[in-house]
Amino acid sequence: MTGETSQSLSKTTKSILNRYGIKLNRSLGQNYLIDKNKRDQIIGFGNINENDTVLEIGTGIGTLTIELAKKAKKVIAIEQDTRICKILAERLEEENIDNVELINDDALKVEFPKFNKIISNLPYQISSPITFKFLDYNFDLAVLMYQKEFAERMNGEVGTKNYSRLSAMLYFKCDVVKLTDVSSESFIPKPEIDSTVVCLKPKENPIPEDDFIFYSKITKALFQHRNKKIRNALIDSRHVFCGLDKKEMKRMLNSAEDERFEEYLSMRVVSLAPEEILFLSRKIGTVLEE
């Protein structure tokens, strides 16, 4: 096969797809990066060395995978599309690359083998659930490409349109740093909007896991009704975090006898900072245990 050294990444990608008769499905998030400079920049952000085990979700035909494998100790590459996975397996064999563990499965369902870095051009349609899944694992850093609008919500400021469950969940787990934008022209097929590459770096002192588990439930309940008042949001989505009926829930909220808690209940979800949601969740947890 003609190597990338003698032709552009764009031509290489199109040549491989034509060779195997593959038509990419935009609805499945199959937008392949064809900008070599951006590809190399993304890999560079990972600062990969020979001791790293890198997790890649949505490998495609190996645009990132092959170059990652040349730098890392090991790459765990997960690709759901069986045809695409077979193409990547053939490419790895042709390139004599033997440090890639290729997994043909749904990344949302499979248990990840041990890794310490994540570098991925994520399938857009699983951006939210796969990011939440990453939070269940320990890692050093993640360099991830998302749709630009999604990336903006990751660091959404309290009270703005970008403030979301995602912002509140990431707040206690990771520092989120924007690295670079990637034009829609850098992909085939061309997506409708531009993309953004971000770095996630786990917090050195996150909140205790037990706290975070209940905090995540309260956050999910609240942001199902982001423009409602906290009291109404908790009542309407009480099933997310407890088994109380509506009457019992109202009684529970009225029994807290805490001025700060009462003040928060009258505020709107979108105006409550993560620290305030944490206070709320701890208070609710305490009352539920009584």
pLDDT band per the 50, 70, 90 thresholds, residue 6:
very low
pLDDT band per the 50, 70, 90 thresholds, residue 7:
low
Calpha distance 203→191 (Å, rounded)? 32
- Domains of the chain, by residue range, sit at 4-202, 209-289
**Residue 3, pLDDT above cutoff 70:** no
Q: Give, for 127, the enclosing helix (H) or strand (E).
A: helix 127-134
Residue 2's pLDDT is: 40
Q: Could you identify the residue written with the tokens 């690709």?
A: 79
**Residue 128, pLDDT above cutoff 80:** yes
Instruction: Provide the whole-model pTM.
Output: 0.89
Average pLDDT over residues 157-177: 95
Average pLDDT over residues 45-64: 97
Q: Is the dihedral of CA 203, 204, 207, 212 positive or negative?
A: positive
pLDDT band per the 50, 70, 90 thresholds, residue 27:
low
Q: For residue 262, give the 3-state DSSP assignment.
A: helix
CA distances to 215, 230, 249, 251 from 234, rounded to whole Å, are 13, 6, 8, 12
Calpha distance 65→54 (Å, rounded)? 9
| Predicted confidence (pLDDT) per residue in 65-86, tens digit | 999 999 999 999 999 999 999 9
**Residue 146, pLDDT above cutoff 50:** yes
| Predicted confidence (pLDDT) per residue in 130-140, tens digit | 999 998 899 99
- Which CATH architecture describes the domain 4-202? 3-Layer(aba) Sandwich (3.40)
Q: Are 4 and 12 in contact (CB under 8 A)?
A: yes
More confident residue, 255 or 170: 170
**Residue 157, pLDDT above cutoff 70:** yes
Which one is the CATH code of 209-289: 3.60.20.30, 3.30.1330.100, 3.90.650.10, 1.10.8.100? 1.10.8.100
Q: Say what percent of the chain tops pLDDT 90.
A: 84
